[in-house]
Structure 1
Amino acid sequence: MDIQLAMTNSPFLETIRIDMRTKHYSIRTEKSYLYWIKKFILFNDKRHPEKMGNIEIERFLNYIATYRHVSASTQNIALCAIIYLYRHIIKVEIKDLNYKFAKQPKRLPTVLSATEIASILHHMSGKYHLITALLYGCGFRLSEALSLRIKDIDLSNHSIFVFRGKGAKDRYTLLPHSLIPALKKQIAFAQQVHDNDLHEGYGCASVPPALHKKYQNSLKSFSWQYLFPSNVRCVHPYDGYICRHHIHSSAYSKKLRPAVIASQITKRVSAHTFRHSFATQLLISGSDIRTVQELLGHTDIKTTELYTHVIGSRRAGTASPIDTINMI
């Protein structure tokens, strides 16, 4: 089949999208893979992937590395997208490709002190203040914090349930006592938003397709609503019903940057920095590394051990030679 077709609303791309949804790929992976597959086809003058091979793949990957100056991780995502295309859609294994996965530099995570975090929190307010406090107080990834539902918050047992975190793993983490008043206030706000939706004839929660079929009659229950609801309702990307999703990650990022600038912090700070700081502070305070691993949801403890490098545990008691001389 020749695909000299416009890439917008392309039947071929739609076939790929359906295949990824059948395999339960995340919406972020779906968007990323479709983006790079589309770029690959456009780069090669809209030729069908069936008529292309290693030469075209190598030329495209070299182009984005040399002329687009993409990072090593982005190169690897583009390569994964193309491998997915050929393996699952074209049904051809890519062999003897003269291109390896780009080696990513090993970086230690940026960590903030308690004083720096307090300063950032001082310059944030409302739900964004609470989100930041949850990132640092519970060790959440941003996507996990934004995806919290009312039913995930257990105020009586001071615990929070993380549903399908990274790697589709569930876990429990601690709920800081100091955040209970703010959480109750946010729950009350979410209740008000949900009541308004019900009054206007809506009120369905946004859920994954499998859960929509299983809990269809319960989706208007308040317990299924997001703790941080979006300002607007939307059409569900899979099932097409009107629902209210959680706020977008970009909305949080737009509030974080001014707070970091106002705090006069020169480190590179992102939402994930608070997760790094959570893990580091727990280890500094003497928490067992296995406990930290469980709270973070790491599959491999080697990932958690990275934070021992940050706190310098392997250099404990080691003094610099210059500290042994009198420089006066």
Structure 2
Amino acid sequence: MDPSPEPSLRPADSPSSGNKNQTNAPPCPWNQALLSLSNEIKVRQYSPKTLKSYTLWAEKLRYFTLHKPPEMLDVEDVKRFLTHLAVERKVAASSQNQAFNALLFFFRHVLHREFGTMEGVVRVKRKPYIPVVLSREEVWRVIENLKYPFDLIVKILYGCGLRLSECMKLRIQDLNFDAMILTIHDGKGKKDRTVPIPQKLKIELENHLHLVVEKHEKDLASGYAGVFLPSAIERKYPGAAKELVWQWVFPSKELTLVPDTGELRRYHLHETHVQKAIKMAVRKSKLLKRASAHTFRHTFASHLLAANVDLRTIQELLGHSDIRTTMIYTHTVISTTIKEKKSPLDFDDGIF
């Protein structure tokens, strides 16, 4: 469950809002604390999603304690807040754990204090989670109801087991057709990994990249400033944003105007466009299961396990740091295992 601001949140309470009648007022301690939290997260190069999540949980604690000054907060405030989430808000175990991790970070790196023990906190019981998995026929039915490039995106999600965000952030240099491997940089937890490119996608991907190259050449001719890059890379390699190897595999349709500089840059295709296309395709396919972009990653893992691929190999392909995360797929199939890296898109059953 994504954290969201409490109903009591008012625009005037936001760290980014200002009060024109209080220009000489001292800075708000909470605004300063939230700014420090943002800086600490950025220094560690955590993802934007982590920044958003941790900031929202800190704000929730702020409202729960009725704007108690950050320097006055103690462990009992956190205990009462976490118990409130479990008892009153009835949040999921994952949300309570997310809140705990966010506030632990806030106390350690912003308030420079340790939590101590969390005894006495009502903990949400974690329910067994069994992911939704599609059959190969169901995967194909969804793909048949998708238009280009969304059909290719879903083939990559299923054929390579990528998260949607990982697929959208692919750059041309991440595809190695000589070795037939795809490299995912800065995946979840800032980890890199490689996965095999399905043989059945080679020609389709090459044709797609040909269109990407044509779009890039038109962009260069129009004088655009390049793709968006991490600031550190752009500082080190000033011309990298216009180089072909740094272009997105799935670029957005329109250029983005950067207000501060007036430059036109290209972003990757937004995740919401893919999610909407998949939702519509699932509806047209008349599936009797809930299915989203992440379902194809679950299906990738389950189909490999059903094909007797070793669990440790699947863990490596998915980029899981803990084998226990990968073991959820043992509840979806009955299998024996062999050690071999393979894509389910390359299974020879005549469906694809």
TM-score normalised to the size of structure 2? 0.79
Q: Provide the rounded CA distance (Å) in 1 between the counterparts of 2:218 and 2:169.
A: 21
Alignment equivalent of 2:148, drawn from 126, 144, 151: 126
Q: Does 2:82 match 1:75?
A: no
Quote the offset at 1:272 in angstroms: 1.8
Q: Secondary structure at the match of 1:161?
A: strand
- Aligned CA distance change for structure 1 residues 300 and 69 (closer, same or farther; 3 Å): closer
- Aligned CA distance change for structure 1 residues 302 and 35 (closer, same or farther; 3 Å): closer
Contact 1:230/1:248 (CA < 8 Å) preserved in 2? yes
Q: Secondary structure at the match of 1:90?
A: coil
Q: Gaps spanning 5+ residues in structure 2: where?
A: 1-11, 17-30, 337-352
Q: Secondary structure at the match of 2:182?
A: strand
- Aligned CA distance change for structure 1 residues 101 and 117 (closer, same or farther; 3 Å): same
Q: Does 2:220 match 1:195?
A: no
Identity over aligned pairs, percent: 36
Q: Provide the rounded CA distance (Å) in 2 between the counterparts of 1:194 and 1:36.
A: 41
Quote the offset at 1:241 in angstroms: 7.4
Q: Provide the rounded CA distance (Å) in 1 between the counterparts of 2:237 and 2:275.
A: 32
Q: Provide the rounded CA distance (Å) in 2 between the counterparts of 1:160 and 1:293.
A: 16
Q: Does 2:117 match 1:61?
A: no
Alignment equivalent of 1:116, drawn from 117, 138, 145: 138
Contact 2:86/2:122 (CA < 8 Å) preserved in 1? no
Quote the offset at 1:136 in angstroms: 0.7
Quote the offset at 1:168 in angstroms: 2.0
Contact 1:79/1:101 (CA < 8 Å) preserved in 2? no
Contact 2:80/2:121 (CA < 8 Å) preserved in 1? no
Q: Would you say how many aligned residue pairs link Structure 1 and Structure 2?
A: 309
Q: Provide the rounded CA distance (Å) in 2 between the counterparts of 1:93 and 1:242.
A: 46
Q: Secondary structure at the match of 2:194?
A: strand
Q: Does 2:328 match 1:306?
A: yes
Partner of 2:4: none
TM-score normalised to the size of structure 1? 0.84
The equivalences for 1:142-291 within 5 A come to: 142-234=164-256, 243-291=265-313
- Aligned CA distance change for structure 1 residues 86 and 300 (closer, same or farther; 3 Å): closer
Quote the offset at 1:135 in angstroms: 0.7
The one-letter amino acid of 1:27's match is P
Q: Provide the rounded CA distance (Å) in 2 between the counterparts of 1:282 and 1:313.
A: 10
Q: Gaps spanning 5+ residues in structure 1: where?
A: 315-328
Contact 1:206/1:236 (CA < 8 Å) preserved in 2? no
